[in-house]
Amino acid sequence: MNLTFAITDANTPPGVAAVSTTPSPDPTTGPVTDEVPLPTLVQADAATLAQVAERAAGDLLAPPTRHRLADVVPAAQHVEPDPTGDWVLPAEAVIVASADPAALAVAEQLANLLRPATGYPLPVTDATTPEPADGIALVLDDTVDLGAEGYRLGITTNGVRVTASTAAGLFYGVQTLRQLLPAAIESPVPVTERWALPGGTITDAPRFPYRGAMLDVARHFFAVEDVLRVVDHLARYKLNHLHLHLTDDQGWRITVDSWPKLTAIGAATEVGGGPGGHYTKADYTRIVSYASARHITVVPEIDLPGHTNAALVAYPELAPDKIAPPPYTGTEVGFSYVDPADQRTYDFVTDVLREVAALTPGPWLHIGGDEAFKVNGEVYTGFVERVQRIVADLGKTVVGWHQLAPAAHLDGRVLQWWGTNGEDPTTAEAVRRGARLIISPGNHAYLDMKYASDTPIGHDWAGLIDVRKAYDWDPGTHVTGVPSTAVIGVEAPLWTESVTSLADIELLLLPRLPAIAELGWSPRATHDWNGFRDRLAGHGPRWETAGITFHRTPEIPWPSTPAIPGQRRTTPTGVNPT
CB of 112 to ligand TNX, least distance (A): 36
Q: Which amino acid is at 438?
A: I
Looking at the Cβ atoms of 493 and 541, the one nearer to ligand TNX is 493
State the burial class of residue 356 (Cβ atoms within 10 Å of its Cβ: 0-12, 13-18, 19+): buried
Can you give the C-alpha Rg of the chain in angstroms?
A: 26
- Beta bridge partner(s), residue 297: 241
Q: Which of 371, 378, 544, 555 is catalytic?
A: 371
**Per residue, what are the HEC states of 152-203?**
EEEEECCEEEEEECCHHHHHHHHHHHHHHCCHHHHCCCCECCCCEECCEEEE
User: Which residue number, 255 or 403, has a Cβ lying nearer to ligand TNX?
Assistant: 403
Cα(22)–Cα(184) distance, integer angstroms: 15
Site mask for ligand TNX (CB under 6 A), range 487-526, x = bound: --------x-x-----------------------------
State the minimum distance, in angstroms, from the CB of residue 516 to ligand TNX.
15
Q: Tally Cβ neighbours within 10 Å of residue 379.
A: 15
Toward ligand TNX, which CB reaches closer, 378 or 460? Answer: 460
Half-sphere exposure of 333 (CA within 13 A, CB side): 15
Q: How far is the CB of 95 from ligand TNX (least distance, A)?
A: 43
Shortest approach of ligand TNX to residue 488 CB, angstroms?
18
SS (H, E, C) 360-419: CCCCEEEEECCCCCCCCHHHHHHHHHHHHHHHHHCCCEEEEEHHHCCCCCCCCCEEEECC
If DSSP codes are grouped into helix, strand and coil, which group holds residue 216? strand
Residue 472: exposed, middle, or buried by beta-carbon count in 10 A (0-12, 13-18, 19+)?
A: middle
Using DSSP's 3-state secondary structure scheme, residue 498 falls into coil
Count the residues of the shown chain that bind ligand TNX, applying the rule CB under 6 A: 10
- For β-strands 241-245 and 159-164, DSSP reports them as unpaired
Q: Smallest distance, Å, CB 406 to ligand TNX?
A: 16
Nearest Cα residue to 108 out of 297, 293, 296: 293
Instruction: Work out the number of other CB atoms within 10 angstroms of the CB of residue 329.
Output: 17
State which residue, 370 or 506, has the beta carbon closest to ligand TNX: 370
Of 105 and 333, which has the nearer Cβ to ligand TNX? Answer: 333
Tell the smallest beta-carbon distance from residue 234 to ligand TNX (Å).
Answer: 19
Q: CB of residue 400 vs ligand TNX: minimum separation in angstroms? A: 9
C-alpha dist (Å) from residue 284 to 166, 287, 367: 26, 5, 18
Q: For residue 305, is the peptide bond before it cis, meaning its omega torsion is within 30 degrees of 0?
A: yes
**Of positions 418, 451, 471, 550, contacts ligand TNX by CB under 6 A:** 418
Q: Which residue's CB is nearer to ligand TNX, number 348 or number 446? A: 446
Provide, rounded to whole angstroms, the least separation between the CB of residue 371 and ligand TNX.
Answer: 5
The pair phi, psi for residue 377, each rounded to 5°, is 55, -135
Q: How far apart are CA 166 and CA 205, in angstroms?
A: 12
The only residue of 222, 259, 348, 401 in contact with ligand TNX, by rule CB under 6 A: 401
DSSP at 453: T
* Binding letters toward ligand TNX, positions 324-363, x by CB under 6 A: ---------x------------------------------
327 vs 566, beta carbon nearer ligand TNX: 327
| H-helix or E-strand spanning residue 287 | helix 281-293
Rounded to whole angstroms, the Cα distance separating 218 from 201 reads 44
Nearer Cβ to ligand TNX, position 417 or 532? 417
Supply the minimum distance, in Å, between the C-beta of residue 390 and ligand TNX. Answer: 20
Q: Which amino acid is at 490?
A: V
CA dist 283 and 291 (Å) reads: 12
Of 333 and 379, the one with the shorter C-beta distance to ligand TNX is 333
Residue 172 found at the interface with ligand TNX (CB under 6 A): no
What is the rounded CA–CA span in Å between residue 212 and residue 291?
12
- Shortest Cβ 435–ligand TNX spacing (Å): 16
Q: Using CB under 6 A, which of 71, 86, 186, 370 touches ligand TNX?
A: 370
- In this complex, which beta carbon is closest to ligand TNX, that of residue 149 or of residue 370? 370
The contact pattern for ligand TNX, residues 427-466, with x = CB under 6 A and - = no contact, is -------------------x-x----------x-------
Of 226, 342, 371, 534, the one binding ligand TNX by CB under 6 A: 371
What residues from 109 to 128 belong to the interface with ligand TNX (CB under 6 A)? none
To the query of whether residue 371 is one of the catalytic residues in this protein, the response is yes
Q: How far is CA 112 from CA 16, 178, 221, 463, 567, in A?
A: 18, 11, 29, 41, 19
CB of 446 to ligand TNX, least distance (A): 6
Positive/negative CA dihedral, 550, 552, 555, 556: positive
Closer to ligand TNX by Cβ: residue 66 or 366: 366
Residues that are catalytic: 371
Q: Which residues bind ligand TNX (CB under 6 A)?
A: 333, 370-371, 401, 418, 446, 448, 459, 495, 497
